[in-house]
Amino acid sequence: MSGLQASSAPISPLPLNPSGPPGSPWSRLDRWIARPRSARTVVVWLSLYLTLAANWPLWNELARIGGAPSVYMPTVALMALLTVCGTVAMLSFTAWSRWMKPLWFAVVLLAAVVQHYMLSYRIVMDPSMVANAVQTDPDEVRDLLSWGLLLDVLLVAVVPAWALWRMRIAPQHIVSQAWRNAVLLIVAVALAVGGMLVMNRELAPLMRNNVHLRYMINPLASVYSAVAAVVKPMFRHSRKLIPVTAGTTLGASYAAQARPPLFVLIVGETARADHFALNGYARDTTPELAARHVLSFRDVHSCGTNTQASVPCMFSPLGKHDFEARKDDYENLMDVLQAAGLAVFWLDNQPGGCKGVCDRIPHASAFSPLDAAVKKTMCDGDECLDDVMLRGLDERLAALPAERRSKGVVLVMHQMGSHGPAYYKRSSPDVKRFMPECTTNALAECSHSELINAFDNSIAYTDRFLGKTIDWLQGQSTHYDTALLYLSDHGESLGEYGLFLHGAPYSFAPEVQKHIPMVMWFDAGMSARRKLSRPCLDADLDAPLTQDNLYHTVLGLMDVHNKTYKPALDALASCRG
């Protein structure tokens, strides 16, 4: 009958090797830890430990919301009960044998790492954050590593690592183990439900008004979000690609054009509208754009709070609501422009790529063709300053198919922009005029002013990059009617409300993660070609826009006719003669 047991091996005493004499406190503790225990006992102790040691962000947030101890202490006690019961319920499925020790320790490591980032950057571990983490490339991971991470993980993980190593798990009959585990699960769930019922009057409004709290329960939230972001898609139906390009044609402006259009669309990264001097920011972060008399739309909001959500959404014909509810994939703006016969090209300076938007059109990485000397001066690993996209741009343009080029060109540049937390890496020394700046990715080690300086320097670098791109377009004006549109993918938290970085769930993300800059520039040829009225455009700079407008604005500007085009979402439609 030994095959019916979780483990039939005899329990042999482990060598204690205490650091002190046999009667020392350390020796007695070591012997107590090494006693045989059931896996259920280990699960309960581990749940209690993680609740106390790995949930400081949750306790701090409850204290902030409650204000006075008399208000928040009962809530902290209830949330501690719910966290313990929830963790016990989750781990009860693993309460079998000593072979579960690596899994238990993995949960400890996960909780320790998640707590570090919640404390350091005030993020929450919702499914979108996990999906964003899965998309993170090695260079972005490197920016997030620090000695502080190692220290925080060791502080949480050393004690349970030692305890799990010393602890012995008593073998039990499988049937007995199963029903006892079931009882443990039922008791944990019952206690949690009872606590919620007793304090429902206080708990219900708290959780309804502070949705982010549910994603701060550690490690439950991390495990749930990982399942939602990684496992759930495995059980979804296979998405099919819905075509939208049928019947796409070029408009009347192409019939007798003297010059074809050349349109550059720059997808920014992590820029905030309120840090653009063009939009009223006190610091002069955008002198190059101001000198080129661009249009800066001041009330624009993103589709999401991370690149994975925003970039595919802004290029979609569906709009935010329908895009997030879709069951299948749809062709996007780049597909439509290519179907119209235009030459299209996507140039990426993000190691994470175009998030699927450029999969069906010609595209390239700005990093791949660079020689060693350029990489040494402009790159840190696979991350380069955005100016690398301007190198060899004439050759890239000339390499596009001549037949398509003769009709018109759309070039998309995907920036590294102000990607954090290593903001200081996003600007070159000659534009760092806001000093001293934060020169580490451990933002807690910097003052708020140093953090703002580093971020503003990255905005100043983007300003210069956009100015250089406009200058390049002006150089092409003898052969093309040229225009530029810049739009960031999302914003960034820089300490407001104790939050850093981006990726908060959209429903309660702060305004600074959603309010983004949008800039447009036209040469005289493009303005005349599309009969654009500058006074009319200047009067509309405060009109509320979102990334939903991008798809239709670009189709309208490029005079591409497609059944998905909606004039009401074309930001320029009312100012075209």
Residues sharing a CB contact under 8 Å with residue 423, sequence separation 6 or more, in sequence order: 437, 438, 451, 454, 455, 457, 458
Q: Which residues contact 197 (CB under 8 A, 6 or more apart)?
A: none
- Whether omega before 351 lies within 30 degrees of 0, making that bond cis, reads no
- Give the model confidence (pLDDT) of 182-229 as tens digits: 999 999 999 988 888 787 667 766 776 677 888 889 999 888 888 877
Q: Report residue 10's pLDDT band, with 50, 70 and 90 as the boundaries.
A: very low
Distance CA(337)–CA(372), nearest Å, equals 35
The pLDDT of residue 500 is above 70: yes
| pLDDT at residue 16 tops 50 | no
The per-residue pLDDT for range 338-367, each reduced to its tens digit, is 999 999 999 999 888 899 999 999 999 998
Structure confidence at residue 3 (pLDDT): 38
* CA distances to 92, 492, 501 from 55, in Å: 20, 25, 20
Assess contact for 304 and 126: CB atoms under 8 A: no
Strands 409-414 and 383-384: unpaired
Q: Express each pLDDT in 222-257 by its tens digit.
A: 888 888 777 766 666 678 999 999 999 999 999 989
Residue range 273-319, pLDDT digits in tens: 999 999 999 999 999 999 999 999 999 999 999 999 999 999 999 99
Phi then psi dihedrals of residue 483, to 5 deg: -155, 160
Q: Does pLDDT of 429 surpass 70?
A: yes
Provide CB contacts within 8 A for 385, sequence distance 6+: 378, 379, 416, 426, 427, 428, 461
Instruction: Find the Cα–Cα–Cα–Cα dihedral 221, 227, 232, 234, rounded to 10°.
Output: 160
- pTM of the entire predicted model: 0.73
* Nearest one of 341, 340, 343, 336 to 357, comparing CA atoms: 336
Q: Among 37-51, 54-68, 296-310, 532-546, which stretch is predicted with the lowest mean pLDDT?
A: 54-68
Is the confidence at residue 166, as pLDDT, over 80?
A: yes
More confident residue, 20 or 254: 254
**18-24: which pairs have CB atoms within 8 A and are 24 or more residues apart?**
none
pLDDT of residue 53: 93
pLDDT at 437 over 60: yes
Residue 133 pLDDT level (bands cut at 50, 70, 90): confident
> How would residue 446 be classed by pLDDT, with cut points 50, 70 and 90?
confident
Query: Lowest mean pLDDT: which of 379-388, 452-461, 464-473?
Result: 379-388
pLDDT at 21: 62
Task: Pull the structure tokens for residue 280.
Answer: 């009223």
- Give residue 127's pLDDT: 78
Find, among 35, 7, 5, 41, the residue nearest to 184 by Cα: 41
Q: How far apart are CA 157 and CA 150, in angstroms?
A: 10
CB atoms within 10 A of CB 458: 32
Look at residue 434 in the predicted model and tell me its pLDDT: 97
Query: Does residue 284 sit in helix, strand or coil?
Result: coil
Distance between CA atoms of residues 90 and 411, nearest Å: 50
* Percentage of residues in the chain having pLDDT higher than 90: 61
Tell me what percent of the residues of the chain surpass a pLDDT of 70. Answer: 93
The mean pLDDT value for 70-88 works out to 87
d(CA 576, CA 321): 28
Residue range 309-333: mean pLDDT, rounded: 96
Paired residues of 501 in beta bridges: 493
Question: Nearest-CA neighbor of 122 among 52, 69, 64?
Answer: 64
Token pair listed for 158: 């050393």
**Can you give the pLDDT at residue 323?**
96
